[in-house]
Amino acid sequence: MSAKQVVTIASRALAAYCLVWFLSDFTYLPMNFYSLFHHLENTSVMAPSYWRNYYLLELSCRLLRMIGLFFAVQWFYRAGPAIEKYFLSPSDEELDNVV
């Protein structure tokens, strides 16, 4: 098994891990929306609701994390040259060209 194949397997394993994390966050979205809408209905014009802001921030952070995970899954699954460069040590030829 070549080093490139090992990097591809490791990269795909990381992609699978990120995908499971994405799907786990996805299952929490209904609860976040429900909580946010519940507190949106119970707000007063005179006093902004702490809980409305809390659940809005929680939902926003969850969606931002899901977007990041979505792109991480794609990046790790492709196992491009940037990932190979990160995981593999430079060869002797590359070191000779630099010096």
Asked whether residue 67 is assigned to any structural domain, the reply reads yes
* Residue numbers of the domain that contains 26: 3-88
Asked whether residue 49 is assigned to any structural domain, the reply reads yes
CB 35 within 8 A of CB 55: yes
User: Cα-flanking dihedrals φ and ψ of residue 91, to 5°?
Assistant: -80, 170
Asked whether residue 95 is assigned to any structural domain, the reply reads no
pLDDT averaged over 10-residue windows placed end to end, the chain, 99 residues: 85 95 96 91 72 92 97 90 78 50
Asked whether residue 96 is assigned to any structural domain, the reply reads no
Note the pLDDT of residue 86.
79
Asked whether residue 47 is assigned to any structural domain, the reply reads yes
Asked whether residue 9 is assigned to any structural domain, the reply reads yes
Residue type, 90: P
Q: What does the buried/exposed string (b/e) look like for 11-46 if buried means 16 or more CB atoms within 10 Å of the residue's CB?
A: beebbeebbeebeeeeeeeeebeebbeebeeeeeee
Asked whether residue 29 is assigned to any structural domain, the reply reads yes
pTM: 0.77
Asked whether residue 93 is assigned to any structural domain, the reply reads no
Number of domains in the chain: 1
